[in-house]
Every structure is written in C-alpha cells, then in structure tokens.
Amino acid sequence: MTSVAAILPIDTEKIRLDFPILQTKVYGRPLVYFDNAATTQKPVQVLETLERYYTEYNSNVHRGVHLLSQQATEAYEESRRKITSLINARHDHEVIFTKGTTNSINLVASSFGKTFIGENDEVLISAMEHHSNIVPWQLICEQQKAQLKVIPINEKGELDMTAFERLLTPKVKIVAVTWVSNSLGTVNPVNDIIAKAHARGIPVLLDGAQAIQHMPVDVQALDVDFLAFSGHKMYGPTGIGILYGKEEWLNKMPPYEGGGDMIKQVTFARTTFNELPFKFEAGTPDISGAIALGAAADYIQKIGLENIQQAEAALINYAYERLAAIEGLRFIGDAAHRAGAISFLVKDIHPFDMGELLDKQSIAVRTGHHCTQPLMDIFGIPGTVRASFAFYNTKEEVDYLVAGINKAAQMLQ
C-alpha cells in the first residue's frame, strides 16, 4: 500500500506544531483526537489573535470615535471580508456574524418563515439532518400552520433524489438540507439539489457545518440562497458563526432580534432598521470570536482547501480500509461520496462502552446519536461510534485507533 505520508499534499508533521493541544497528553499518552466533527482544535494563529484583541485593542465596535474602537471595528469588518473571500460571496453585507450554525438556521427559519411560509405550505428537509436543521423548522411550521416534509435516504445513507423531486411541489417554500452529514459523512449532491429547487423557484438553505472545513466553498458558483456554518468547526473559536444569505432574500426578511446596532432610528412609536448586515446583528457581537474566525479563515486558506480536501480524502480512505478489516465492524452509512466522519458499530458492543475504552487509551471519538436521533431511528440503532477527521490527523493515529478498537473489543467480549 502507498504510504499516506508520501501522497499527502500538506506537511502534517509541521502543521501539527501549530496546534498546542495536539502536543498534550491524556492519561499519560499523546492525545489522539478524532472528534473533529464536534469541534476542531485551534492553531496558535487563532489563539494569538484572541489574546491580541483582549490585550491590545479590546473595545466595542461600530460605536466609539476613539482609536481602540476604530481598531476593533476595522478588525471586525476585515474579518467579515475574509469570510466573504473564503466563501466567494458577492457582497460583504451578505455575510452575517451569528453565534453558530444553530443560530444561523434559527434566524432564517424565524425571519424567512414569518414572511414567506404560510398555512398549508411545506418546508423540505432530509432524513439525515442534525437537530439544528430540524427543530427550528418544526417551530416555525407549527407557528405558521405549515408542514415539515422529509427527503428519505437509502440504506447507504444517501439522499433519495427521485423522492426529492417528487416532494418538490409548489407547496414547498424552502429546502433546508445538510451539505455533509455529521453522523454518516455523506456528501450530498448540493449542486443538483439547488438546480432542481431553483427550477421550481424554491430557495435552498445549506447547513454547511460539516462542509466549510473540508472543501472549497463558492456560494456564487453554487447559487445557494443561504449557507450556515460554525467557527469552532473550522479551527476558530466557539460562540461565533456565519449566516450567508443572498442580498435579495436578506433585504426582504425582517430582523430576527431587536437591540443595539440593528437600528437606524428608534422612537417609542416606531423603529427603523439598519442596513445589511447590521439589521441581523443586534447587540454587542462576539468581537474577539469574529476577529479570530478571520484568523482561522486565513489559516485554512493558506494551507489551501483543495490541499485539505485531498489530504483528508487520502486519510479517510486509509481509515476506511483499516476499519473495514476489523472483525465484526459494520459501517453505519456507506455513501459513495463522503467527507469528515466515519460511523460504525463493532459486533453488539454498545457505542458508549467502546467510546469509554478508547478514551482510556487516549483516543477521543464521539459516541451516541450525534444530534441526529431521527436518523438513528431509521437505522434502528441507539447510536454509533464516530471517528471524525481533520487534516492534522495522521496515518499512525488511524493505526492506533484500529489497535484500540481491537483491544476494546477483546476486553468487552
């Protein structure tokens, strides 16, 4: 077999030095971190950006005339421009800072929903959605007396595109699907989904929480209407995320939250609202988080998302082959096109037991339903063991995981 190191387009060993936590030990052994779909680790470039903000120019944005406030505002807006460039948005004001994917989807469900979803209308999601792309739509459907419809999947964990087309009726006001499944690792055919929805005049929201860190993203080429993602899954801090929305939609949508910054003028009788993007950024934002998210965007762009995609694909293929050879291991989800995560069960071992024994061997994986309970119900299982990969993971770590699983399985049988 070709050595992964020989074909990797990036220098993993050097890159790992950027991540202080990867140099640490748990239970006296080097940390092996395979829980990247839950959150990624942070490079020094992001950590230093956070510290620099708080030690050198901590101040509120868009308000003060003083120097520090101007510096903070400039850094905050510069970070917005970095995200615009990362996703190739047409305008900076189409990039809204939010708390994360969940917050971004709630914003669209509420604001778009109140305006464009009415009685007997439908919202179309898929069977592999994260709770964050189910519950906000359930809430708005209940409020507007609309219905939630679900695109089914096949046994490999791929979307049933024939059923999708059948479900795309004139009643559907928005399609909201995940780009990459956090539980199965399936990469959905988003170009096709968007083209088919647009052919019927229906806008599309993509949950990009598991896509943005794994592949190049171009919202103009995709022609997607809304894209939601989280900073902490793309090597940035927690508490910050992005909603990209096409200007024409965002302009037609009412504010989600009221407060400072999102207003033009307030009287007790009436308030007029600020222009984009500020209309959707009420209150003091997560300034340090936004600025550090810009540093994370710089970091992954410097490595190159094509390189990241290629390196991770090589590693995932290797992991898939090695895991497949484990006696009694079965994959949950076996999509042809995949990224990020591999889910599996070993014999009849409960995922929590496997997770605990791996933890004791200094291997961090996720176990459980991964916030996709309806998907677990479809597979008829309580949960899975999920190993999720980042470009800083190595072939040696995969070997260690495989040995760890074998050892755990022996102990548990």
Active site positions, annotated: 371
Where are the extended beta strands (E) located within 57-171?
A: 95-98, 122-126, 147-151
Q: Which is nearer to ligand PMP, 274 or 343 (CB)?
A: 343
Q: Is 209 in the site for ligand PMP (CB under 6 A)?
A: yes
Nearest residue (CB) to ligand PMP, 72 versus 127? 127
55, burial (CB in 10 Å: exposed 0-12, middle 13-18, buried 19+): exposed
List the one residue from 182, 343, 388, 393 that touches ligand PMP (CB under 6 A): 182
Subset of 120-159 contacting ligand PMP (CB under 6 A): 130, 132-133
User: In the numeric block, which tokens belong to residue 394?
Assistant: 């190595």
Count how many residues are written for the chain: 413
Among 35, 94, 121, 207, binds ligand PMP (CB under 6 A): 207
Least CB distance from residue 13 to ligand PMP, whole Å? 28
- CA 329 from centre of chain: 27
Per CB under 6 A, which of residues 342..401 are in contact with ligand PMP?
Answer: 371
Percent helix, strand and coil across the chain, each to the nearest 5: 45, 20, 35
What angle is formed at CA 306 by the lines to CA 222 and CA 86, rounded to 5 degrees? 55
- Tokens linked to 157: 């964990």
Strands 263-266 and 271-273, by their bridges, are: antiparallel
Segments in 271-325 forming alpha helices (H): 287-303, 305-324
Residues 120-138 as b or e (16 or more Cβ within 10 Å = b): ebbbbbbbbbbebbbbbbe
Closest to ligand PMP by CB, 8 vs 37, is 37
Stretch that binds ligand PMP, among 75-83, 207-215, 308-316, 357-365 (CB under 6 A): 207-215
The helix/strand/coil state of 325 is coil
Binding-site member from 210, 288, 343, 394 for ligand PMP (CB under 6 A): 210
> Cβ(178)–Cβ(210) under 8 Å?
yes
Distance in Å, CB of 197 to ligand PMP, minimum: 19
Stretch that binds ligand PMP, among 76-84, 205-213, 377-385, 394-402 (CB under 6 A): 205-213
Residue 4 in contact with residue 314, Cβ under 8 Å?
yes
Closest distance to ligand PMP from the beta carbon of 182 (Å): 3
Separation of alpha carbons 317 and 393, rounded Å: 13
Taking the least distance from each CB to ligand PMP, the nearer of 177 and 346 is 177
Q: 3-state DSSP call for residue 299?
A: helix
Stretch that binds ligand PMP, among 10-18, 203-211, 257-265, 390-398 (CB under 6 A): 203-211
Q: Which is nearer to ligand PMP, 16 or 131 (CB)?
A: 131
How far is it, in rounded angstroms, from Cα 84 to Cα 193?
Answer: 23
**Nearer to ligand PMP (CB atom), residue 153 or residue 357:** 153
- Alpha-helical segments (H) within 304-384: 305-324, 351-359, 373-379
> Considering CB under 6 A, how many residues would be counted as binding ligand PMP?
14
Is 232 exposed, middle or buried, given 0-12, 13-18 or 19+ CB atoms closer than 10 A? buried
* Minimum distance of ligand PMP from residue 6's CB (angstroms): 32
Q: Are 76 and 290 in contact (CB under 8 A)?
A: yes
Residue with smaller CB distance to ligand PMP, 190 or 209: 209
Among 41, 186, 230, 394, binds ligand PMP (CB under 6 A): 230
Q: Which of residues 296-315 bind ligand PMP (CB under 6 A)?
A: none
Nearest distance from C-beta of residue 364 to ligand PMP, angstroms: 15
One DSSP character per residue, 135-152 reads HHHHHHHHHHT-EEEEE-
Residue among 49 and 182 whose Cβ is closer to ligand PMP: 182
> DSSP readout, 8-28?
-SS-HHHHHTT-GGGG-EETT
Give the shortest CB-397-to-ligand PMP separation in angstroms: 21
40 belongs to the binding site for ligand PMP (CB under 6 A)? no
* Interaction between residue 186 and ligand PMP (CB under 6 A): no
Minimum CB distance to ligand PMP, residue 190 (Å)? 13
State the binding string over 87-106 for ligand PMP (x if CB under 6 A, else -). Answer: -------------xxx----
Q: Which of 12, 84, 178, 288 binds ligand PMP (CB under 6 A)?
A: 178
Q: Which residues make up the interface to ligand PMP (CB under 6 A)?
A: 37, 100-102, 130, 132-133, 178, 182, 207, 209-210, 230, 371
